[in-house]
Structure 1
């Protein structure tokens, strides 16, 4: 009888243990799903926040816009000369670097890498890495859509068409009229700026930025973009990342910058898995 009672106790303990593990597994999945929907909501909200920033520009922001415009026009004025310089020195650039510029800036490769960063943070429960992944995905989405729209609207001829720096065909449609801005430069510099923000030392930041600007430069060597296209692409990436990063400061406890977000206002999109909406925060 004692053996039977002992056996029943063991069976009950094993059953309860199995239920506990099952509940733990279920709770873990629910927690992962909760984190995932929260993060994806922040991806879309970050995009909306970045697009709404010009509404809230202050005097300093217009100074930055003026400086950016002046430098871009300066580069535009020498686009023909800079094109000749890059073409004349292309043979000095290793094919490995030129190939890297193409593959690193391809959207499918970019989203594959940024997605891997985010999923690693999600499954390891590392909030800082999750936040970094959200910033990468949100910034790439915001800059990627904006550069595609701008390319179509401006219709600037690529250098390889030999039509000159002043040739534009708005809504031209063909690949030869999609020079401005550079998608490769936008995506790779976006990634570089996000990653560089994780570090304080310029001995680390410097090489990261060098890797980030290389694809943009190779696109000039390949006569796919003008120097002014690439420069403005880098500026676009920088300000979009900065904007979204400030927004994420108030969404995650793990921060790597100390920017205050008390006075931030925004027009945001919400996403919770089964609900989509628009929220104005002030």
Structure 2
């Protein structure tokens, strides 16, 4: 079935923001002709995306004191939200009929895997075909982060088997490996995919207002899932934390381990020499 314009709106808006806005802060890329071929760049980026996934999954083995403190804070925060799961779920579900259908559509289609990967893939292909290094790297970050976080939520929600609010079984109902959607509440896949994309794109900008706008768009899916009674507040809260941790981890990996863009050309350094019977200017190339 062909999606209507309204349902395509989240893709169009985010794609426009991604390519146009990131391009504004991209380097001039004057050395484009000196870059490797498109095929070589594609292989390099594939290795980067896979490397980012391995790096993120292996990070807990290298955690230090601050990392354990962060993990403890996330666990404590999730436990605190759990206390209010029933009350917050009732409140959000009551708001569902008051929300515009357009907002609900954006939340659903933006967080759906096929649409999310379409956005991420379009950003990357634009960077690859134009050899715009900043956009290309952003595309790698988007694809790698979505794949990493997506796999985490797929395995976790099946292994935990938490009942969704709409089942009426309560927040403490768990049936691990049940294998049906009604018991795939924890964590929220829509939240993870939508906010992972928004957070990765937002990191490319220094302007706090641009960041806020992009993050706000990324929050539509999480909130809409609460309205629909598809998730508890703890599901969404932990999913947001997973998104941030995964994106930051892969972004650090790409910045530290991978080189994007042509190497800076050697600059000429000048040194003024004064000695007995001589005065000179030496240039080092």
- Give your verdict on TM over 0.5: yes
2:79 counterpart (48, 59, 73): 73
Where does 1:1-282 land on structure 2 (aligned, <5 Å)? 31-249=37-255, 250-253=257-260
C-alpha deviation, 1:253, in angstroms: 4.0
Secondary structure of the residue aligned to 1:89 is helix
Q: What is the alpha-carbon distance in structure 2 between the residues aligned to residue 215 and residue 98 of structure 1? A: 8
Structure 1 residues 164, 132: CA separation in 2 closer, same or farther (over 3 Å shift)? same
C-alpha deviation, 1:54, in angstroms: 0.5
In the alignment, is the contact (CA less than 8 A) between 1:155 and 1:178 conserved in 2?
Answer: yes
In the alignment, is the contact (CA less than 8 A) between 2:149 and 2:193 conserved in 1?
Answer: yes
C-alpha deviation, 1:118, in angstroms: 0.4
Q: What is the alpha-carbon distance in structure 2 between the residues aligned to residue 214 and residue 155 of structure 1? A: 25
Q: What is the alpha-carbon distance in structure 2 between the residues aligned to residue 30 and residue 204 of structure 1? A: 33
Q: What is the alpha-carbon distance in structure 2 between the residues aligned to residue 220 and residue 65 of structure 1? A: 24
C-alpha deviation, 1:170, in angstroms: 0.5
Q: What is the alpha-carbon distance in structure 2 between the residues aligned to residue 155 and residue 253 of structure 1? A: 41
In the alignment, is the contact (CA less than 8 A) between 2:195 and 2:219 conserved in 1?
Answer: yes
Structure 1: give runs of 5+ residues left out of the alignment. Answer: 1-26, 255-282
Q: What is the alpha-carbon distance in structure 1 between the residues aligned to residue 253 and residue 177 of structure 2? A: 33
In the alignment, is the contact (CA less than 8 A) between 1:127 and 1:252 conserved in 2?
Answer: no
Q: What stretches of structure 1 move > 3 A for 4+ residues in a row?
A: 27-30
Q: What is the alpha-carbon distance in structure 2 between the residues aligned to residue 151 and residue 252 of structure 1? A: 35
In the alignment, is the contact (CA less than 8 A) between 2:137 and 2:260 conserved in 1?
Answer: no
Report which of the two structures shows the higher radius of gyration computed on alpha carbons.
1
In the alignment, is the contact (CA less than 8 A) between 2:159 and 2:177 conserved in 1?
Answer: yes
In the alignment, is the contact (CA less than 8 A) between 1:121 and 1:133 conserved in 2?
Answer: yes
Q: What is the alpha-carbon distance in structure 1 between the residues aligned to residue 79 and residue 215 of structure 2? A: 24
Q: What is the alpha-carbon distance in structure 2 between the residues aligned to residue 138 and residue 163 of structure 1? A: 36
Aligned length: 228
C-alpha deviation, 1:28, in angstroms: 10
TM-score normalised according to structure 1 size: 0.79
